[in-house]
Amino acid sequence: MIKESNVKTSKSIGVASRVRRGADRFVKASAWPRDFVWGVSTSSFQIEGATSEDGRGPSIWDTFSAAGRVANRDTGDVACDHYHRYAEDVALIQRLGVQAYRFSVAWPRLLPKGRGCPNEAGLAFYDRLIDALLEAGIEPWLCLYHWDLPQALDDLGGWLAREAASWFADYATLVARRYGDRVKRFATFNEPSVFTLFGYGFGDSAPGVSGPVMLGRAIHNVNLAHGAAVDVVRALVPDASIGAIHNYQPCLPATPNDMEAAELFGAYWNNAFPDPECLGAYPPRLVAAMEPYIHEGDLARICRPIDWFGLNHYSPIYAKADPNAPLGFTFGPAPADLSHTPIGWPIHPEAFHDNLLEVSARYHLPIYVLENGFGGNDAPDAAGDIVDTARITYLKAYTQAMHQAIAEGADVRGYFVWSLLDNFEWGSGYGVRFGLVYVDYPTQKRVPKASFLWYADLIKSVRRQGSQRATI
């Protein structure tokens, strides 16, 4: 029987003060796990640009942004121009001192129509990137899908079509064959619950449709695609280490009347993917909704052995009931006494601590935190420096909370900051900055922020103390 444990009250995540009291003393005195991986993450559409260059086909995010559905009518056409500046970006990653870099491959760059004839120029771009990383001593962590579905496949139904699982398996085959000699860390999907909820449930991300039926179909087809891709990569790259990347955050009721909404939101947000993928069943609250899409044998196809759980975490979510919303629930206000980032995301490191313990106990897989970061509106000061003290404070508190969770038994093996660069932040466009490196978009000049130096120092000090003793 699967336990539904993602819904908590503010009171229960308030183990907080206990964590905070112990943290400083503890972290100074104790060790990080040996071989802990420090990294940094990005994704293809958010940084690459060059959307119509060298044979790349359009993705659903090109279509969505061309329709003016992103803030300021921003598009990914240029983004951080990483397609041309990847060598400079690899040098920055090397300077940061991380051991690993998580990026995603743009499906429409490799297969402009989503399937059929591969695009050699697109394949060659990731050859160059991977080779540059390896040369710099950085391990490439390759994510197959970070939301940029080829538009040609969306035209055939996209994730609403059951055949999407075999389209994805064919794409994974191409990737594994081409890069499997050099890449050993593969993730299938990034945050499947976020892109299905926003793209097919709420309707405010690409492809921008909404309703419970579409959401259910999309969830199930993405789960099938995950299982199919795990099998393909495992067969083609026998020494691969394979996982999937899930957002996981407490979903709390905005008011005492929103308990029901919070439970349902939490089931979609946290468990709709990892439960079937790792435990072989949909969470109890979603069983009825998912039942129409499940064919015999599907859950066994979805639940394939994987090696790790990629966890993305930023802040708790507050849910409220809304009978007019497509799914009957929506985002509610966070308690007024919680501090938040400039983009309004609550800051609550104790919730992160609790989630790490919860995910470790629920899924019994090593955890890699593959996204955690701070969204702001950074700008250079008079001297041209970007002194992002609030980001440093956030990262410090979250890494301390993680360290405490490890001490209490959470099996966390690595931590990656989101993100290397300021970039295209989906519906918010370029107005929101998450980077350790500031990007001046008109000139594409990169300027490491104070947080870049702080993170580099943290990694250096952890690694310097061979026994992995460090003060953060």
Q: Choose one: 2-10, 84-92, 186-194, 383-391; the region binding ligand FCB (CB under 6 A).
A: 186-194
Q: How far is the CB of 194 from ligand FCB (least distance, A)?
A: 5
Residues 266-325 that bind ligand FCB (CB under 6 A): 312
Which of 270, 312 has the CB closer to ligand FCB?
312
Q: Choose one: 136-144, 189-197, 208-216, 402-410; the region binding ligand FCB (CB under 6 A).
A: 189-197
Residue 194 binds to ligand FCB (criterion: CB under 6 A): yes
Helix (H) or strand (E) holding 179: helix 164-179
* Cα-Cα-Cα-Cα dihedral sign, residues 187, 191, 193, 198: negative
- As beta bridge partners, residue 241 has 185
Distances (CA, A) of 315 to 165, 351, 352, 371, 472: 31, 7, 7, 11, 21
Backbone angles phi, psi at 354, to 5 degrees: -65, -40
Length of the chain: 472
Q: How far is the CB of 26 from ligand FCB (least distance, A)?
A: 29
Q: Output Rg (C-alpha) for the chain, integer angstroms.
A: 21
Residue 371 binds to ligand FCB (criterion: CB under 6 A): yes
Q: How far is the CB of 428 from ligand FCB (least distance, A)?
A: 9
Which of 312, 355 has the CB closer to ligand FCB?
312
Q: What is the 3-class SS of 379-428, one letter each residue?
A: CCCCCCCCCCHHHHHHHHHHHHHHHHHHHCCCCEEEEEEECCECCCCHHH
Rounded to an integer, what is the distance from CA 408 to the centroid of its chain? Answer: 25
Report strand pairing: 185-190 vs 241-247. Answer: parallel
Per CB under 6 A, the list member of 6, 7, 8, 43 interacting with ligand FCB is 43
Report how many residues bind ligand FCB under the rule CB under 6 A.
Answer: 12
* Per-residue contact flags (x/-) with ligand FCB for residues 226 to 255, judged by CB under 6 A: ---------------------x--------
Residue 355 binds to ligand FCB (criterion: CB under 6 A): no
- As beta bridge partners, residue 274 has none
CA dist., res. 6 & res. 257, Å (int): 18
Q: How far is the CB of 422 from ligand FCB (least distance, A)?
A: 11
Burial level of 73, CB count in 10 A (0-12/13-18/19+)?
Answer: exposed
Q: Which residue is nearest to ligand FCB (CB)?
A: 191
Amino acid at 85: R
Residue 453's contacts (CB-CB under 8 Å, 6 or more residues apart) are none
Q: Choose one: 164-172, 180-188, 358-366, 418-426; the region binding ligand FCB (CB under 6 A).
A: 418-426
* Per-residue contact flags (x/-) with ligand FCB for residues 141 to 170, judged by CB under 6 A: ------------------------------
Residue 422 binds to ligand FCB (criterion: CB under 6 A): no
* Per-residue contact flags (x/-) with ligand FCB for residues 45 to 74, judged by CB under 6 A: -x----------------------------
Residue 223 in tokens: 């789960």
Per CB under 6 A, the list member of 44, 75, 188, 190 interacting with ligand FCB is 190
Residue 191 binds to ligand FCB (criterion: CB under 6 A): yes
Amino acid at 189: F
Residues 426-455 that bind ligand FCB (CB under 6 A): 426, 434
Which of 176, 311 has the CB closer to ligand FCB?
311
Collapsing DSSP to helix, strand or coil, 100 comes out as strand
CA dist., res. 40 & res. 413, Å (int): 14
Collapsing DSSP to helix, strand or coil, 451 comes out as helix
* Residues with a known catalytic role: 191, 371
The footprint of ligand FCB (CB under 6 A) covers: 43, 46, 190-191, 194, 247, 312, 371, 418, 425-426, 434
